[in-house]
Chains A and B, each alone.
Chain A
Amino acid sequence: MKENNTNILVPSEEDVARLLSPEWIVKGELQHTAFILNAGESYISVNRPAIDSFEEDVLAFLNKHPYYHSGDKTNSYQCAILNVGEVNNISVAQGDTVMDIKVEVEARDSHTKSHAGIFTRVHNMNIKNGQTLKYGPTSEEISADTILLHVRFQLLALAKLETHFL
């Protein structure tokens, strides 16, 4: 079900940043596990550098989770930068047919102003890990995990790994 929130889509020209646990970077390479939906959740948390409170919000997160600091440098952190327009262009095909799947970035500013979420939607419904979906005219069953794995592959390809200093 589509969750009731502000439902404000982030403009396509904006970038969003996924803060990265050091576990998601192996030998300097970003890992796809950085873009996995937590159980029961329907979006991947990101922050919007275009919002005034971005640095303040990141700092608050890092203070709460100090292991997000990059290596032994306590004044830095790593993040995956994604352009919203490119994320919106992600598509998933089933055979030769492109599925009606949208990957959208929506503001989630109820807790922190710069917070946003990357949602994967089938027929405008949020999908989560473990779901079985009925798709197409024959209501063919398709695993949400399959769709999310395709989306993850594309998010990984689009992401730019950056180190930021506070």
Chain B
Amino acid sequence: MEDNESTIVAEPAVTYPMTSYAELMAYIHSVHITREDKEKVARRLTIEVTQPALAEAYERVDHLSMLRKDWDGYGALPISPKVLRNIKATLMISDNADWLHWSISPDSNATLGLQSTKHNTLISLGAQEFSYYAMIDGKEYGESHVSFSPEKLLSIMREFE
């Protein structure tokens, strides 16, 4: 006797990757997860479909969160969970335009570096604070040990993009 039940699998309403908001919502409604998780998935997938630069930043952070000890061959530490929380909190309040010119890279001391491809502004993001340095039109800007808040970091990123 065939076990029909075992073959019943919730099929997504659409095939991934999706290219429209409607397809995306249909997909989210078709999966069986909690409402809270659906909201998270919805935000992330919406970003993936509609905000490519922001999506890329999320993917980069996902990748960096998986680096293991000694990822640089010189004894580097994995990125601190607090630092990852900080960058994710910043991504949560960001727009796509905020990430068009910024890249994220790992620092061997468990923190993250941000760098603007436009002005070479550097940011070092730690667990409690961040530092930045920029030279624009020959004028230096910078501050060290700024208490972290996602709003503050984002405002610096926008100012010194």
Q: Which of A102-146 contact B (CB under 8 A)?
A: 129, 143, 145-146
Q: Number of B residues whose C-beta is below 8 Å from A?
A: 32
- Which 8 A/B pairs are nearest by Cβ-Cβ distance? A65-B73, A33-B113, A31-B105, A26-B103, A146-B144, A33-B105, A149-B133, A32-B122
B98 interface residue per 8 A CB criterion:
no
Can you give 25 contacting A-B residue pairs, CB < 8 Å?
A: A21-B73, A23-B64, A24-B105, A26-B60, A26-B105, A27-B117, A29-B115, A32-B115, A32-B122, A33-B106, A33-B113, A38-B109, A39-B109, A67-B73, A93-B140, A143-B144, A143-B145, A145-B144, A146-B142, A149-B122, A149-B124, A149-B142, A152-B133, A156-B120, A156-B122
Given contacts A149-B124, A149-B132, 11 further A-B contacts (CB under 8 A): A21-B71, A26-B60, A27-B103, A31-B103, A31-B105, A31-B115, A45-B74, A65-B73, A68-B73, A152-B122, A156-B120
Q: Which of A31-63 contact B (CB under 8 A)?
A: 31-33, 36, 38-39, 45, 61
B71 near A23 with CB under 8 A, answer yes
